[in-house]
Amino acid sequence: MLFNSIDFAFFLPIVFCLFWMINGKDLKYQNLLLLASSYVFYGWWDWRFLSLLAFSSGLDFFVGSALYKQQDEKKRKMLFLISMGVNLGLLGFFKYYNFFAESFVEAFSFFGQKTDLNTLNIILPVGISFYTFQSMSYAIDIYRGKLTPTKDLIAFLAFVSFFPQLVAGPIERASHLLPQFLTKKRFSYDMVAAGLKIMLWGFFMKVVVADRLALYVQAVYGNVDMHTGLSFIVATIFFAFQIYCDFGGYSLIALGCARLFGFDLMENFRRPYFSGSFREFWGRWHISLSTWFKDYLYIPLGGNRVSPSRNYFNLFTTFVVSGLWHGANWTFVIWGGIHGSYQILEREFAKI
């Protein structure tokens, strides 16, 4: 179910009214409603993958509880590896199996060798990259001793599947969003007005700006033989604004939608094209993803507390993996490598 669809136009008011009708009663009923609504929202695309979402969420809930209770470090590490292995294994299979299989075959062919590794007809579950990272961070934070696990299964499942940010972010941390499911909400007309205002601006960016620019961009890049260099320049500029208004607009709709229910989501885009450097740009663009990779990949690799060469390796690796997260294609890997190189060069030029 897309935000800019007729289905969502009927879905949201119904959930909104039901949510505030049961306000003030047992908090579990509100969370149960949000959980059921989120699963309906997700199942609207393909109900078959609801079991995958529930399994991934449930796994981290029970692993998180076991991690917190377990004192033996070897057993804690084993539990942690189970969570990471299963989550990354599912993400890797559904999103990257065919990519690596095709790359493997092409590599062997390049050296004159043949292999029978076949691709599979795999359907990519919507939002798996987002909810996997959100659920994983819960187990990671508990393993690090930075988070106390919740005992409320319904609240946790609702946290992972919360429909405003389920399929396109922002990727929330349990330390920020989960406590909001454990707190009673108060209805406020100002809160609802603020949420609708944010949603309206998001819809303007997505539907009026991004979708209109996309028509020109697709017309040019889809018929390269029919256009001149000037058309490509204009299309490239348009694409830069299209992708920002598409992602940024969708994130604003998510923020505004969550606000209608009394939830506060993190800001995901902060005027990135006004950045004065590549480093600043990545502090403003897809903030929830950038900070996720910083906290759970870049810093564990050593961050900037190591030698300059090792720091650059950590930086480059983080951006390459970030590129792969965006899509199972070598173009995304190269894109990530380019941005990692920009970061390294920027740091080197700053020394001059």
Question: For 155-195, how does the pLDDT look when each residue is reduced to its tens digit (9 = 90+)?
Answer: 999 999 999 999 888 999 999 999 999 998 889 999 999 99
Question: Of 176, 227, 326, 339, which one is the catalytic site residue?
Answer: 326
The answer to whether the beta carbons of residues 165 and 248 sit under 8 Å apart is no
Rg of the Cα atoms in the chain = 22
The type of residue at 18 is L
The answer to whether 286 is a known catalytic residue is: no
pTM assigned to the model: 0.92
The pLDDT-based confidence of 56 (bands split at 50, 70, 90) is very high
d(CA 103, CA 335): 17
d(CA 300, CA 318): 11
Q: Is 113 a residue whose pLDDT tops 80?
A: no
Over residues 212-216, mean pLDDT:
95
- C-alpha separations of 92 from 129, 268, 296, 318 in Å: 10, 25, 17, 17
pLDDT of residue 88: 96
The answer to whether the beta carbons of residues 93 and 119 sit under 8 Å apart is no
Tracing tokens 């897309």 back to the chain, one arrives at 2
d(CA 134, CA 230): 42
The pLDDT-based confidence of 23 (bands split at 50, 70, 90) is confident
pLDDT of residue 228: 80
The answer to whether the beta carbons of residues 129 and 325 sit under 8 Å apart is yes
